[in-house]
Amino acid sequence: MEDLTQEEWTEQLANDENAIVLDVRTEAEVADGIIPNAIHIDIYKGQEFISEIEDLDKSKSYYVYCRSGNRSGQACQIMEQLGFENAYNLEGGMLEWTGDVVDIE
């Protein structure tokens, strides 16, 4: 797991052809908008979160974020324990995000 600043995170994301953006916030938080093309799996769902993460492609790179960077850091650690090699945590999360945000469809 690697903690990246927003600048590092967005730059690396833009140059990564295997990138998947993962939002681990709650439904209520996601209602305020998400980073474009992000998939949403709520970390507070416990075992269901683990099950959904285990279904993801471990060969991809995951750019993970939450509201402040704490839950996404935990998600990255869980992903590492499950065998994911490339999980990147967005420091500061959505609170410090200055990039694009879209409404969830």
Quick one: pLDDT at residue 1?
A: 87
Give yes or no for residue 105 having a pLDDT over 70. no
Does 66 participate in catalysis according to the annotation?
yes
Residue 10 inside a domain? The answer is: yes
pLDDT in tens, 16-52: 999 999 999 999 999 999 999 999 999 999 999 999 9
Q: If you ran DSSP here, which 8-state letter would residue 24 be given?
A: -
Coil, strand or helix at 27: helix
Answer whether residue 11 is part of any domain: yes
Interval 77-103 mean pLDDT: 96
Mean model confidence pLDDT for the chain:
96
Q: What is the mean pLDDT of residues 77-95?
A: 97
Domain, as residue range, for 88: 2-96
Helices (H) and strands (E) in the chain, counts: 5, 5
Q: One of 1, 41, 43, 66 is an active-site residue; which one?
A: 66
Burial track 17-28 (b if 16+ CB lie within 10 A, e otherwise): eebbbbbbbbee
CATH number of the domain bearing residue 68: 3.40.250.10
- Beta sheet of 19-23, edge-to-edge order: 2-4, 87-90, 61-65, 19-23, 39-40
